[in-house]
Amino acid sequence: METMRDRRTTLGSCHISVKGEDDVDSNKLLCRVNKRQQQKEIPHLSDMCSWSNKPGVDFNRSLHKELFSSEIKNYLSKADPLPHIGNKMLPYLRKSTRRNSTKAAGQKDSVNMLFPAKEHFAKIFCGLNEALVSDWLERAIYSINDLREWCHIGDNFVRFANFWLSELPYKQKLNLLQLEMGLFDDELQSAFFEEVGAELEFSHLHSVRSATLCEYPEVLLNDETKYVFLDYLNLMSSEQTIEYKKMLSGLKCTTNNLQIALWLLALRAFALANLWHAVVKFYKAMVSSQPPPGLPNKSSVSATRKQKSDLFKERAFQSIQLGYIDVLHYLIKGHQIDPYVVDENNRNMIFLSVIHNQPKILEYFLDMDSPIPNVNQAAENGNTPLHAAVNIRKTDIMSLLLRFAEIDVNAPNYQCNGATALHLAIVYGHLDICYLLLKAAADPEIQMGELTPLQLAQHMGNKTIENLIRFHVNKLKKGK
């Protein structure tokens, strides 16, 4: 597990938005310090007002003058106090706690901890200094940059998502989060008790933590909100979005003190980046140092240069190739991917499930409510998923495709003289596939060019398939 010293790196720039960005155009805060060192930019936190830690600068005065625009001041002064101060619990946390009470009962870190009252903020933050906040931001910048780079290498994000959703047991997940939050609590104690004074109560510090990182523990551990961790990881590693700014500004407290608001925003940025980076680092320590079997471990295009839809499409295709139903479901149900998406060869997700031999993915689409990919959609070469199933000669894949209500068992490939899956199976000599197709009412007299299936079987010299087709031809004629 990384130490706190490990997390100290070069600071670039950090931009933090305050709550209400939908209503305020310039409600962004930039902290840019240590210009002597090499800077690392966060591309999705840009165009902010800035300040520097120049010697002799009145820090308190520069905060109000440079960090807060007049629009922000007006917004904060007019903003209504948030309703969850005091004993009240956040609405979605209250719902989460009620539905997951069996797991949450008895946990030390309960979300119904009191949030600090307004008068406590001045006492808690009165001694906080510039260097400490700069250190928080420095480490947050490093963590987010590291996450962003790692998430866009190969299939890292998809493999981690599968680990988080399916491979890491609840108890281990809880222990991991408790351990990392314990380190964060140590940070708070060191910051506030050493800088401010020992007269503060521990409950005040726990309240600060609850206000700045209210997602812990209930939202991160509840089955009904289990995607939040991945949502935040995606936001941290992607281009700037409204959702990203809302994530950073998700403070659950009320203050009219602009300096305290800045401290809280900085602390939330540090808490989010630090915890998410630590969990991903834990995962990286668990996996082999060698690239895992599956997809090549190559760098993807930067998220700032790749459209979000392309990024999610790539992750969906990776999920199919690896057989990660949980990650594919996360992408589809979170509306991150269009079910009708196709790759550069016009192959949809059902087609890709076939060629990657992923029967469980096909079962997922079979059980999925509309909309689902078109099971008859032809690829660029004219083949449908049914043709592809013949090519790989997987009877389980073929059987699953034939269960789709919309399947067209006689779908032709117009780029190949109108060949159907049955014609292809005859050419390859796949008796078992021919049997499945004919049992599913494949037309034994449909022509490929000028050849019927029976003539094609005779031409290929396969007597067994020839007899099978002749039987179905006679059966068809008797039925007429």
Residue 292 belongs to a domain:
no
In a shared domain, residues 415 and 397: no
In a shared domain, residues 415 and 402: no
Residue 455 belongs to a domain:
yes
Q: Is residue 81 reached through a cis peptide bond, with omega within 30 degrees of 0 on the bond before it?
A: no
In a shared domain, residues 172 and 46: yes
In a shared domain, residues 42 and 186: yes
In a shared domain, residues 73 and 152: yes
Terminal CA-CA length for the chain: 74
Which of 286, 320, 340 is the C-terminal boundary of a domain? 286
Residue 298 belongs to a domain:
no
In a shared domain, residues 30 and 71: yes
| Beta carbons of 106 and 237 less than 8 angstroms apart | no
In a shared domain, residues 173 and 244: yes
Q: Which residues of 463-480 are buried (b: 16+ CB within 10 A; e: fewer)?
A: eebbebbeebbeeeeeee
Rg (C-alpha) for the chain, rounded Å, is 29
| Beta carbons of 384 and 413 less than 8 angstroms apart | yes
Q: What is the pLDDT of residue 225?
A: 94
Instruction: Report the number of distinct structural domains present in the chain.
Output: 3
Q: In this structure, what CATH number is given to the domain that contains residue 432?
A: 1.25.40.20
pLDDT tens, position by position, for the chain (480 residues)? 443 334 333 222 223 333 333 332 322 322 332 333 333 332 222 222 232 233 333 333 333 333 333 433 343 344 333 333 223 333 333 344 344 444 433 333 333 334 455 556 677 777 777 788 889 999 999 999 999 999 999 999 999 999 999 999 999 999 999 999 999 988 888 887 765 554 567 777 788 888 899 999 999 999 999 999 999 999 999 877 788 888 988 887 777 788 888 888 999 999 999 999 999 999 999 996 555 555 454 444 444 446 777 899 999 999 999 999 999 999 999 988 999 999 999 999 999 999 999 999 999 999 999 999 999 999 999 999 999 999 999 999 999 999 999 999 999 999 999 999 999 999 999 999 999 999 999 999 999 999 999 999 999 999 999 999 999 999 888 876
Give the residue carrying structure tokens 């100290």: 8
pTM: 0.74
| Beta carbons of 32 and 54 less than 8 angstroms apart | no
Integer Cα distance of 381 and 407 in angstroms: 19
Which domain covers residue 398, as residue numbers? Answer: 307-406
Count of CB atoms situated within 10 Å of the CB of 147? 20
| Beta carbons of 248 and 118 less than 8 angstroms apart | no
Tokens of 58: 């009145």
Integer Cα distance of 251 and 392 in angstroms: 54
In a shared domain, residues 77 and 53: yes
State phi, psi for 17 to the nearest 5 degrees.
-100, 145
Which of 389, 406, 423 is the C-terminal boundary of a domain? 406
In a shared domain, residues 324 and 198: no
Residue 246 belongs to a domain:
yes
Residue 12 belongs to a domain:
yes
In a shared domain, residues 269 and 394: no
In a shared domain, residues 318 and 178: no
Integer Cα distance of 441 and 433 in angstroms: 13
SS3 state at 413: strand
Integer Cα distance of 187 and 183 in angstroms: 6
Give the residue carrying structure tokens 């190559």: 298
Which of 374, 406, 438 is the C-terminal boundary of a domain? 406
Q: How far is CA 473 from the centre of its chain?
A: 52
Residue 299 belongs to a domain:
no
Residue 291 belongs to a domain:
no
Residue 50 belongs to a domain:
yes
In a shared domain, residues 224 and 265: yes
